[in-house]
Amino acid sequence: MLLSGFGTLLQLLYTAMLVLAVVAFFFAATAREDAYRAADKKTKPFWLILLGVAVVVNLLIPLLFLQLAGVVASIVFMVDVRPALKEVSGGGGRRGGSSSDGPYGPYNGGR
């Protein structure tokens, strides 16, 4: 009973690592080439190869240390590279405006 539960947990972990790698690969593929240069990150082919290898390793090669390396690459892309690409591309989540803007316009502190 305990061993089958551990196997299920490992299977969920492997699935989560695969999903993370696929999502990171998708975001890397859909970003513009010039955004990588403007954000001063590695090139688009570099990230596509790195994340593509991570996807293939998660699908075909059940070696945990290689899968963990792919997870690290995916996390670095999602946490560091993707926000920089969004900032350079103008894809910030605020749709323009200042950080002091409220839902009805700029907040001026009651002045």
Q: What is the pLDDT of residues 1-46, one digit of tens each?
A: 677 777 788 889 999 999 999 999 999 999 999 999 999 999 999 9
Residue 43: both structure tokens together = 């090139």
The DSSP 8-state label assigned to residue 77 in this structure reads I
Cβ atoms of 29 and 48 within 8 Å: the answer is yes
Nearest 5 degrees, angle CA 12-CA 15-CA 16?
Answer: 85
CA distance 21 to 2: 29
pLDDT at 98: 57
pLDDT at 5: 76
Q: Which helix (H) or strand (E) holds 101?
A: strand 101-102
Mean pLDDT of 63-91: 91
